[in-house]
Structure 1
Amino acid sequence: MDAPGRFQRVSLRARVTLLAAFCVAGAVAVVSLGAYMTVSQNLRDQFDENLRQRAQAAATAPKVTDEVTQIPGAFLAAGDIRIGLLDQNGQMFYPHGTLSPPTSGGDLDVARGSSLENIWTDARSESRVISVPYPDGQAIVIAQSLKPMNTTLGKLSVVLFVISGLGVLVAAAAGTAVARTGLRPVQRLTDATERVALHGDLRPIPVSGDDELARLTQRFNAMLAAVADSQERQRRLVADAGHELRTPLTSMRTNLELLLASEKPGSPTLSDEDKAEINDDVRAQLDELTTLIGDLVELAREDAPQVVQEPVDLVEVVERALDRARRRAAGDVRFDVELQPWSLLGDSSALERAVLNLLDNAVKFSASGGTVRLSLRPLGDGSAVVEVADSGPGIADADLPHVFERFYRSQEARTLPGSGLGLAIVKQAAERHGGAAYAGRAPEGGALFTLRLPGRPFPESH
């Protein structure tokens, strides 16, 4: 596996630690190298300047007589250097008991007067050598050992190396601490996702601070809350659907078992009237099951996320629903209709189903010869309302807060056909389109249902 692949397999915490250590190591290395080079250059410059001053002092020192030879008086005061007098022929005079300083061709040029100074480094003796002119065609040559300065620079390099290593270790420790502290919310998110995946645990994660990770945690908690709410709604739907399906299925099973038992030899026979009554009951229960299953399918479709939205002429939607309601209603129920233009983006079939449910509900509770009032009008605030009012008994105060709940049926509605899901479908369709559904009392005395939807007064141009 290549290096990038291996690096990607390292944990994020380790990568943060390594990155901090590498960054500090690079910075410390640059600073240490710069400090070493600066100190080294300064020491060398000071060494050369000191050597130059000593050479100039030696060249101007008074002469003394050593037996029959006159030599510079500085020869007698030199203790840490090697010093000598070089003539034009290359002959070197130096104090007895000392070593001769090294020479080069540049030093001979100084003795001959063709150069004013020559300074150089002798690698064999590890010393710095300087030569300056001296009277009578000679040159003072001074050599001073570089070993003390090199020892100092060596110690400095060791100190800088140790400090750099400590800096890298401190940076790695600091990077580890920062990674552990900074990535703790990420670790909590990781633990939460594993908890959800393995156990379905949707508990929210504690949030601390207000940085990007805290906001990410808040969004994750919001997602967990949405998933928990969706699961709870699904659980209630399944539980309520099972409860509602149990009653017609039990009744149908009883009727079918009674019919089958009457066909067995020796069993009491049923009269034609009893058989007809049982057949009517079975048909009614089948119709109830068909309606209930259709409503459940519609609710499941409404719960799914809406993918496609299209321009909808709400007047056309309401008119289609009205035609279907008229075909289902008894001939003695009248419709009072008033529609004004309105358009919006949405799902026309879902809106048609919602309006049809309101009309069917109004027809069901209207008395014989009653009137169902249907109106579509804008409110002037960017929304319009579809109002359906009936001439029935109205909604009791105790039932008003619950009429849009799934499977809820008032005491009066329990004797009438229906699944208790129609108004829940209306509410979901309204909320799916950014609107709302309301229930109240109509001026006529019956129930008044209002479907409020956003949009614009005129159909959108294509």
Structure 2
Amino acid sequence: MTRRLPSFVRTTAFRLTLLSAGLFALSSFLILAFVYAASAGAAINRTDAVINDELAALGRRYDEAGIDGVNRYILQRTVGGSDFLYLLVNENGRLLSGNLNGLPEVDASSEGWLDFVYGRAPTGDESDAQDERRARARLVQIGSGHAVFVGVDVEDENRLIGRMLRAILIASALVIALGIASGVVVSRRFSRRLDHINSVARSVRGGKLASRARQNGSGDELDELSGNFNDMLDRLEEMVHRMRNVGDSIAHDLRSPLTRMRNRMEAALRADGDRASRQAALEQALNDSDELLGVFNAILSISRIEAGERRDSFEVFDPAQIVEDMGELYEPVCEDSGHAFGLESASGLRLRGDKSLVSQAMANMLDNAVKYTPAGGAVQLRLRRCSDGRAEISVTDTGPGIPLEERARVTQRFVRLEKSRNQPGSGLGLSLVKAIADVHRAELVLDEGAGGLDGMGPGLRIALVFPSVEDRA
């Protein structure tokens, strides 16, 4: 069976690190290779220039004193310990002078250049002794049938260039090795953090919704991923918790109307011959069924709004008209219930959304204010422009208000405060407003109203703050 590679080797981080190391090693190798080639070429050119200068000096000596002058020059240079390698050969191939035993057995180029190996006797320093050394020379014709050979020992330069080549190869190998090592370290760290996120995902899939991914505070992309992952899990846990409790909430809030409906229908069946009693019981049962249908319709509306089904119908409009229409609708309602009603509407505002949903949200906010504000109180509907350019629709009343610690709960489904249990309703009004705010990416604000009025409570201010059209573009 083929053994699988370690998990960190299969990670993208390892592959990218290895690729980066390979590209860096290749680029380094090419740069160093260029330096090597340039250094080797410069050394050869320098050697050739020295040899050509020496050949020019021999040519001038030949012009002054002929072949004998060349011979004397070579003898003087070799006896004086010159670094050059000389040979003077006559037309018969006989060696006349020089410090080599004979011409190297290598083929010369078309210009007479030779690269060869020669033997040099040890000097006083044995550390410098070497049996064979590399040299470069040039063989040219001089005079009638004579040939002069001038060379230079290039062993030290070749040795330096060889060291340079080995350094280039070793440096390239080290770059690749360090790249692989860094890839292993980085990918292992990367893989461990991803494995932890995956293990959290598996735990959540297994039902452990409280599991969360660790964050190390580095602010890197994995830390950001962990933060977003945890935010998603928080939202998921909240939704699952709501789903688990929705059955109990529905049973709790619908039990009373269902029980009343059953009792009235049972009483109607027992009312022998009393047609009026049966008619009243059926009418009340019909009202109870309408109440139940209203609850279910509200739940369905919230679900559809939260799913974003109405987002395709969004348009840019001025909310002043629908605010004024809503004011005309609720002003007589407030007069009948004994509430003072005020309307303040700014013009020239623009928001992007669904007109019917915005109207529904205002209706729920006004219903909530009328229902919980005692007779003699005041309700105000207001449309204004915020200092940052956003549009705000608010409803303020002088009722009992909502305690600060309860404001986060009242927007959840079927949540009703204890002091409002005796009021009709299902606890879905503000949930619908919250859903409408979310689908419009608006901010739902709940805070205290204008304060007590004639001994009434602190009041409640419910506001929908819509983003400006420019921000949504």
- TM-score, normalised on structure 1? 0.67
Over the matched positions of the two proteins, sequence identity in percent amounts to 17
Task: Give the Å deviation of 1:20.
Answer: 1.6
Q: Are 1:203 and 2:207 matched, yes or no?
A: no
Q: Are 1:226 and 2:231 matched, yes or no?
A: yes
From the CA coordinates, give the structure whose radius of gyration is larger: 1
Q: Are 1:293 and 2:296 matched, yes or no?
A: yes
Aligned residue in 1 for 2:138: 128
Task: Give the Å deviation of 1:372.
Answer: 5.3
Task: Give the Å deviation of 1:38.
Answer: 1.3
Q: Are 1:354 and 2:366 matched, yes or no?
A: no
Q: State how far apart, in whole Å, the 2-side matches of 1:248 and 1:55 are.
A: 121
Task: Give the Å deviation of 1:122.
Answer: 6.0
Q: Are 1:46 and 2:50 matched, yes or no?
A: yes
Aligned residue in 2 for 1:19: 23
Question: Which residue, out of 25, 35, 38, partners 2:39?
Answer: 35
For each residue in 1:17-70, what CA deviation from the matched residue of structure 2 results, as whole angstroms up to 9, or x when unmatched?
211221112112111111111122222323343455467668878999xxxxx9
In structure 2, the CA distance between the partners of 1:234 and 1:289, relative to structure 1 (3 Å rule), is farther
Aligned residue in 1 for 2:465: 453
Mapped contact 2:75–2:97 kept (Cα < 8 A) = no
Counterpart residue identity of residue 293, structure 1: F
Q: State how far apart, in whole Å, the 2-side matches of 1:41 and 1:54 are.
A: 20
Mapped contact 1:376–1:386 kept (Cα < 8 A) = yes
Mapped contact 1:85–1:93 kept (Cα < 8 A) = yes
Q: State how far apart, in whole Å, the 1-side matches of 2:97 and 2:32 are.
A: 51
Mapped contact 1:321–1:355 kept (Cα < 8 A) = yes
Counterpart residue identity of residue 443, structure 1: L
3-state SS, counterpart of residue 460 of structure 2: strand
Question: Which residue, out of 389, 394, 401, partners 1:395?
Answer: 401
Mapped contact 2:334–2:370 kept (Cα < 8 A) = yes
Question: Which residue, out of 143, 149, 155, partners 1:143?
Answer: 149
For each residue in 1:85-143, what CA deviation from the matched residue of structure 2 results, as whole angstroms up to 9, or x when unmatched?
45xxxx666449998869xxxxxxxxxxxxxxx9733689985213445xxxx576322
For each residue in 1:300-323, what CA deviation from the matched residue of structure 2 results, as whole angstroms up to 9, or x when unmatched?
445456566433332332345456
3-state SS, counterpart of residue 453 of structure 2: coil
Q: State how far apart, in whole Å, the 1-side matches of 2:380 and 2:42 are.
A: 93
| RMSD between aligned residues | 4.9
Mapped contact 2:394–2:461 kept (Cα < 8 A) = yes
Task: Give the Å deviation of 1:389.
Answer: 4.8
Q: State how far apart, in whole Å, the 2-side matches of 1:202 and 1:376 are.
A: 43
Q: State how far apart, in whole Å, the 1-side matches of 2:318 and 2:75 are.
A: 118
Aligned residue in 1 for 2:384: 378
Q: State how far apart, in whole Å, the 2-side matches of 1:409 and 1:96 are.
A: 121
Structure 1 segment 97-246 matched on structure 2, within 5 A: 120-121=112-113, 128-132=138-142, 141-144=147-150, 149=154, 155=159, 158-179=162-183, 187=191, 190-191=194-195, 194-195=198-199, 198-200=202-204, 202-208=212-218, 214-217=219-222, 219-246=224-251
Between 394-403 and 16-25, report the one with greater CA deviation. 394-403
Unaligned runs of 5+ in 1: 1-7, 65-69, 103-117, 209-213, 264-268, 457-462
3-state SS, counterpart of residue 216 of structure 2: coil
3-state SS, counterpart of residue 415 of structure 1: coil
In structure 2, the CA distance between the partners of 1:361 and 1:74, relative to structure 1 (3 Å rule), is closer
3-state SS, counterpart of residue 463 of structure 2: strand
For each residue in 1:194-213, what CA deviation from the matched residue of structure 2 results, as whole angstroms up to 9, or x when unmatched?
456544454243242xxxxx
3-state SS, counterpart of residue 346 of structure 2: coil
In structure 2, the CA distance between the partners of 1:423 and 1:141, relative to structure 1 (3 Å rule), is same
Task: Give the Å deviation of 1:439.
Answer: 3.9
3-state SS, counterpart of residue 205 of structure 1: coil
For each residue in 1:236-261, what CA deviation from the matched residue of structure 2 results, as whole angstroms up to 9, or x when unmatched?
4323422211225555776798899x
Aligned residue in 1 for 2:428: 421
3-state SS, counterpart of residue 17 of structure 2: helix
3-state SS, counterpart of residue 346 of structure 1: strand
Q: State how far apart, in whole Å, the 2-side matches of 1:398 and 1:390 are.
A: 16
Aligned residue in 1 for 2:120: none
Unaligned runs of 5+ in 2: 1-11, 80-84, 105-109, 118-135, 205-210, 469-473
Q: How many residues align?
A: 406
- TM-score, normalised on structure 2? 0.66
Mapped contact 2:258–2:288 kept (Cα < 8 A) = no
